[in-house]
Homo-oligomer: A and B are copies of this chain.
Amino acid sequence: MKQPNAPRAQSPDTEPTNCRLPKSGETSVTQQPSHREEEPVGQRHRVGQHGHIFREGDCADRIYQVVDGAVMLYKLLPDGRRQVVELLSAGDVFGLTPLPIFDCSAETLVASNVIAYDRASVENSPDLLRRLSAHVHAQLCALHEHAVLLGRKSALERVATFVMHCVPGRGGFECAGPRAGGDSAIVRLGMTRQEIADYLGLTLETVSRAFSELRRRGIIAIDKQEEVRVHDVCRMCQLTGAH
């Protein structure tokens, strides 16, 4: 047998154009204030929910940065299996590749603003390159972390880790630790079970079962399907496998 959800991954609306966003001077172009004279300007674009910014294989002549919103990068195998390889938020950079084509597809999770830079000009602007690098290094570490999740964690640990990532300021390098007296948080997931599953390397059923298990244990409550109330953040953190 092949493996997980081969026939289940939803096939996105296919319109194989080559560059989704309008080129310079077509629509919604906002000049960014340049830090120096030679600083390349980025074009600011608004992309609606579930809009594709580019697809795997498209000509990679631009580099993007998230201004606000949320973007996911994913790759597909020929038989339809999908893996979400990165979840991006404000500041994160995407579209980087050593090849002339993108290695993955980029789709917004919610309506978002992104800045598009000309690839060649980024490589010639030390200042911009340096500013982007800081974010890229953070993303590298996030990818390392995610490899551990995909390679070594159980389903429950994966879901617990995912939920913890949605709790701001906890579980990271400088976690404040358990706050005394009601260490709870309300978390908006902003993704369907299928999207979460494709990010965590699971099936949507397994993700659902993990949420149910967490609820059964009294660690979370599911308010509105997309909204999770974490009763005890610290206890949840224990379940991630990282502590």
Name A residues whose Cβ lies closer than 8 Å to a Cβ of B. 1-4, 73, 75, 77-79, 81-83, 85-86, 96-99, 101, 103-104, 123, 126-127, 129-130, 133-134, 136-141, 143-148, 150-154, 157, 173, 198, 200-201, 241-243
A152 touches B3 (CB 8 A): yes
B85 touches A148 (CB 8 A): yes
Give the shortest distance, in Å, between A81 (CB) and chain B (any CB).
5
Per assembly, the copies of the chain total 2
B97 touches A137 (CB 8 A): yes
Q: Using CB atoms, name the residue of chain B closest to A241.
A: B77
A173 touches B138 (CB 8 A): no
A151 touches B77 (CB 8 A): no
- List of B residues within 8 angstroms of A198 by Cβ: 151
Contact of A98 among B2, B75, B85, B141 (CB under 8 A): B141
Instruction: Report 30 cross-chain contacts, Cβ distance below 8 Å, ordered by A residue.
Output: A2-B154, A2-B241, A3-B153, A3-B154, A4-B152, A73-B144, A75-B144, A75-B148, A77-B153, A77-B242, A78-B242, A78-B243, A81-B241, A83-B147, A85-B147, A86-B144, A96-B136, A96-B137, A96-B140, A97-B140, A97-B141, A98-B134, A103-B141, A103-B145, A126-B126, A129-B133, A140-B140, A143-B147, A150-B150, A151-B198
With A82-B152, A97-B141 known, 20 other A-B pairs at CB within 8 A are A1-B154, A3-B154, A75-B145, A77-B242, A78-B241, A78-B242, A83-B151, A83-B152, A85-B148, A86-B144, A99-B141, A101-B173, A103-B144, A103-B145, A126-B126, A126-B130, A133-B133, A136-B136, A140-B140, A151-B201
